[in-house]
Amino acid sequence: MSARASVVAAVQLNSSEDVAGNLAAVQRMVTHAAAAGARLVVLPENFAFFGAATERARLAERAREKGATVLATIAALARRCGVAIVAGGHPEVAADPGRPYNSALAFAADGELVGCYRKRHLFDVELPDGARYEESRGTTPGDELVVVELAGLRCGLSICYDLRFPEHYRALVAAGAELLLVPAAFTRTTGTDHFLVLLRARAIENQCWVVAANQWGSHPGGRETFGHSCVIDPWGRVVVDAGDGVGVVSASVDLDQLQEVRQCLPALAHRRDQVRG
Q: In this predicted model, what pLDDT tens digit does every residue of 66-121 receive, in sequence order? A: 667 999 999 999 999 999 999 999 999 999 999 999 999 999 999 999 999 999 99
Within 13 Å and on the Cβ side, how many CA atoms surround 261? Answer: 19
Task: Kindly state the average pLDDT of the residues 215-223.
Answer: 95
In a domain, 274, yes or no: no
Which pLDDT belongs to residue 130? 82
Q: In this predicted model, what pLDDT tens digit does every residue of 43-63 receive, in sequence order? A: 999 999 999 989 999 999 998
Tell me the C-alpha distance between 89 and 25, whole Å. Answer: 16
Q: In which band, very low, low, confident or very high, does the pLDDT at 36 lie, cut at 50, 70 and 90?
A: very high
In a domain, 125, yes or no: yes
Q: In this predicted model, what pLDDT tens digit does every residue of 106-163 receive, in sequence order? A: 999 999 999 999 999 999 999 888 888 999 999 999 999 999 999 999 999 999 999 9
Tell me the C-alpha distance between 85 and 242, whole Å. Answer: 19
pLDDT for residue 1 is more than 70: no
Residue 60: domain span: 5-264
Task: Kindly state the average pLDDT of the residues 172-194.
Answer: 97
Active site residues: 45, 119, 160
Tell me the C-alpha distance between 122 and 120, whole Å. Answer: 6
Q: What is the CA radius of gyration of the chain?
A: 18
In a domain, 74, yes or no: yes
- Cβ count within 10 A of residue 184: 29
Task: Name the pTM for this structure.
Answer: 0.96
In a domain, 275, yes or no: no
State which of 130-134, 214-218, 272-276 shows the largest mean pLDDT: 214-218
Q: What is the 3-state secondary structure (H, E, C) of 222-265?
A: HCEEECCCEEECCCCCEEEECCCCCEEEEEEEEHHHHHHHHHHC
Number of structural domains, the chain? Answer: 1
51 SS3 class: coil
CATH of the domain at 179: 3.60.110.10
Cβ-contact 134, 119 below 8 angstroms = no
Which pLDDT belongs to residue 276? 76
